[in-house]
Structure 1
């Protein structure tokens, strides 16, 4: 049987794919833009036929009815490695829970706890040799596919064909569903004035020949725009972004001085605009590799001059970072923050950078009024999750400057962090630190 015949023998309809799902199944779906939108958009339609289906996901891109509408909670329970707005909102319905994790161990620990019997993902069009590409994520997908009893992939011609651990042969897939819809995009956030100031501070810490990791949002985008004049940068990152495309096209990224996979831009997933997806398509200079390897701190540390750049929501005066919750309320996830922050500090001449705004404008509880608060605080908000231990914090950057915490005592940290807090809050921070005996 030739590969096209093999493909055709595994081709099923959407309705047939949904019929494969049974009560009690443990399903894992691909991450972010690699998730199978058509199957997930229609999963709720079998709610009367199934019960107690458990679904593990990561950064879902749509507000799918199976978790958004609480009337389906007897049929589906969703557990996520990283919350996006839709699943964050659904949490209150009682049919969603968070999975604490470091990204490089997310898949491994999950299937050790609860073996997956169904994997749902996506792939680009099959080539003449029978190979498809998992396209936009190899974070945990390949590991789960190898363990799952049933693998169903939506094959979408709009997905870019990427190289690395995304390659899979048709013989290793149980069923395919042909689809044709636009790939989910993440709008590019234009940097604000504060973002640009923070971006300049961070760019000053990045030396020529560094290998960098960037996240998403205004601050990382501002950093990317400030790095265009750097020379011979490399990429070893959790997430491949639009900013990296711009840096490559500017000539700042060459990868020639990388100590690990020189010349290759390395990531474990990609998420962004159509411009990014077009850049990735059939581009052998980008390797999308297994997150268990890419995000392993020991692997990250093998890069010379590794610089990780992450953001946080709130930091206390000793350096503890809350990057994923607002008080006790889960907002996003730890993701790869600890992986990359620790890994960068294992690197020869490496640096880990945590960025945050000095203030936030928040709603006063029980009213429509808003007030400005400091994001550097004497103690974290009650119930806040510590995403990055103070033991693992290196450089901290706000629009008011840079604090180097490596090797410092609590007394030194208090002073350094107050110096980069908003001026309106510095005296109050000193007073509260003294009252609490933080020294």
Structure 2
């Protein structure tokens, strides 16, 4: 009897599934999907309309929520057209969601107030002033969890503005150097406008989208934004050497952010072997290590043999390196930054930077006092992933110069008023400055103060000792 009921249930489900399937084929539109539409397979009898940027953005109306592709893939031509159209059409209350973008972000200018309002999940240089002036918003969120905002319909998206590589012979494009949270956005946006650019590298991984999922396409040939790769300072070189010589071991899996300190570490790894890369982002610094045979990814558990990342930002050299290169896999950030994934790799070594650290180990990374500067990003995702490494050999590292550009100590008795703690004192393991390495995990407050004072700039050590006594009512001690 039970078996008969189960069989009837399966047949009923199959019947409903077939009916739904027929409906999908007859009406090949994204909004018929029961769950988030997968942008990979070709949709029968559906092609995007090729338009000018000015024509394409006219679909945007007042009150809409618009997602913008970020970093090196920022669709600046579409954004400029959108801004001009918004002013001419007298739009209002259009919300713009994004991680950090490149370019001038003209939609955040004072004359766009009331028309557009930017909401950053990670603040780029072009949005710092608007956010701190109150003309734009910032949403604190772990990089790994931004896709949840779209997939769980916490933020429903009307339009997605993206940039893609040109369609291949089968109609497939890619999100190039920036998959990150964009894959989740295009799964959930009702209307997709794609800026098609032959300068976008064609990449492997989760960033493949069939052109039939795009509603409009705009052809552009603009070069991608680049970041200048300056020479490392003496301080940065010292920090890089401390980390490379003492904390990065052969066979390690590296995560590093962007900037001079990660570059300084990479520059010191020429004699290492079998280094793997599983990181939220990377830049030019990995290329020479690949060609030297240092980065092989051969010891990794997740995607063995491949560099895994969610976005990349650098120079044209980097984009050329990524183009049609199966050695590099660009993946959804919900996967890349998942601590349960990260911790499976061997000797996970996470190298991140920060703004200031107090004497108990609280780490400020997204703000300078009350002034918002960047965002939560993936720092905690990888700090935890390294700390929870299944092989017990992970290295969660936070690195910074001992003083600011103004000569103030970055190791402080108390964090600045209004500053945000991104990495808590319980998360911290290694803090590195040009004066050495402080290991804080398992240490009490006076031991932490001792370790941090030891790597502070010598000009501030006596003052920090006095402040520690005032705060803890005892002297710092090893």
Under a length normalisation based on structure 2, what TM-score does the superposition of the two structures give? 0.87
1:377 to 397, 412, 418: 412
Partner of 2:116: 76
> Within the alignment, does 1:17 sit opposite 2:56 as a pair?
yes
Matches within 5 A, 1:88-99: 88-99=128-139
> Is the 2:428–2:441 contact (alpha carbons within 8 Å) kept by the matching residues of 1?
yes
Cα separation, partners in 2 of 1:412 and 1:166, compared to 1, 3 Å? same
Partner of 2:222: 181
Q: Alpha-carbon deviation of 1:401?
A: 0.3
Deviations 1:375-418 (A, max 9, x none): 00011011111011111111110000001111111111010000
Cα separation, partners in 2 of 1:110 and 1:132, compared to 1, 3 Å? closer
Q: Secondary structure at the match of 1:34?
A: coil
Residues of 1 paired with 2:69 and 2:147: CA distance?
A: 11
> Within the alignment, does 1:237 sit opposite 2:276 as a pair?
no
> Is the 1:6–1:170 contact (alpha carbons within 8 Å) kept by the matching residues of 2?
no
Deviations 1:208-251 (A, max 9, x none): 00010111111111101001110000000010211111211221
Residues of 1 paired with 2:473 and 2:160: CA distance?
A: 49
> Is the 1:91–1:97 contact (alpha carbons within 8 Å) kept by the matching residues of 2?
yes
Cα separation, partners in 2 of 1:275 and 1:198, compared to 1, 3 Å? same
2:267 to 197, 212, 225: 225
Structure 1 residue runs of 4 or more that deviate by more than 6 Å after TM superposition = 5-8
Cα separation, partners in 2 of 1:232 and 1:192, compared to 1, 3 Å? same
> Is the 2:96–2:119 contact (alpha carbons within 8 Å) kept by the matching residues of 1?
yes
Q: Secondary structure at the match of 1:158?
A: coil
Residues of 1 paired with 2:46 and 2:223: CA distance?
A: 22
> Within the alignment, does 1:207 sit opposite 2:249 as a pair?
yes
Partner of 1:359: 403
2:169 to 128, 147, 150: 128
Deviations 1:326-377 (A, max 9, x none): 1011011111101111111111211111001111133xxxxxxxxx211000
Residues of 2 paired with 1:6 and 1:127: CA distance?
A: 18
Residues of 2 paired with 1:93 and 1:435: CA distance?
A: 36
Under a length normalisation based on structure 1, what TM-score does the superposition of the two structures give? 0.94
Matches within 5 A, 1:146-161: 146-161=187-202
Residues of 1 paired with 2:46 and 2:201: CA distance?
A: 19
Deviations 1:265-323 (A, max 9, x none): 00000110000000000000100000000001111111111100000010001111101
Number of residue pairs matched? Answer: 427
Matches within 5 A, 1:29-428: 29-46=68-85, 47-49=87-89, 50-67=91-108, 69-109=109-149, 112-204=153-245, 205-347=247-389, 348=391, 349-362=393-406, 372-428=407-463
Residues of 2 paired with 1:408 and 1:142: CA distance?
A: 41
> Is the 1:76–1:95 contact (alpha carbons within 8 Å) kept by the matching residues of 2?
no
> Is the 1:410–1:438 contact (alpha carbons within 8 Å) kept by the matching residues of 2?
no
Query: Larger Rg: 1 or 2?
Result: 2
Residues of 2 paired with 1:213 and 1:189: CA distance?
A: 21
Cα separation, partners in 2 of 1:12 and 1:256, compared to 1, 3 Å? same
Partner of 1:369: none
- Farther off after superposition, 259-268 or 7-16: 7-16
Q: Secondary structure at the match of 1:429?
A: helix
Q: Secondary structure at the match of 2:148?
A: helix
Residues of 1 paired with 2:57 and 2:187: CA distance?
A: 21
User: What is the aligned-residue RMSD (CA, Å)?
Assistant: 1.6
